């Protein structure tokens, strides 16, 4: 079975490496500027593809989760302040 790539993460990884590309897909096909054509077999690009972790990023916390975390931090800070008095 062919490896499937997480395109948003792969875009970040290629950009971080300074690789110039015009498009890519979830099959790991990377196209460079028009004069270079496909670049996924280039050693630097192939190394990034080989090391790529396609696990999806977790979703951002919901507003409710963020509020709960803020409330816990406030309670912790208030408890710490009370102990200091």
Predicted pLDDT at 85: 67
Q: Confidence band (pLDDT; 50, 70, 90) for 10?
A: very high
Q: What confidence score (pLDDT) does residue 1 get?
A: 62
Give DSSP secondary structure letters for 11-24.
HHHHHHTT---SEE
* Segments making up each domain of the chain, as ranges: 7-84
Helix axes 7-16, 43-51, angle to 10 degrees: 130
pLDDT digits (tens, 9 = 90+) for 13-50: 999 999 999 999 999 999 999 888 999 999 999 999 99
CB 53 within 8 A of CB 9: yes
pLDDT of residue 3 exceeding 90, the answer is no
Token digits for 6?
A: 């997480």
């Amino acid at each position: 079975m062919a490896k499937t790539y997480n395109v948003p993460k792969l875009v970040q990884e290629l950009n971080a490496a300074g690789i110039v590309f015009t498009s890519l897909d979830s099959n790991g096909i990377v196209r460079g500027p028009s004069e270079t054509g496909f670049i996924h077999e280039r050693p630097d690009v192939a190394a990034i593809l080989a090391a790529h972790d396609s696990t999806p990023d977790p979703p951002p916390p919901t507003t409710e989760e963020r509020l709960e975390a803020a409330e816990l931090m406030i309670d912790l800070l208030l408890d710490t302040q009370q102990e200091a008095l």
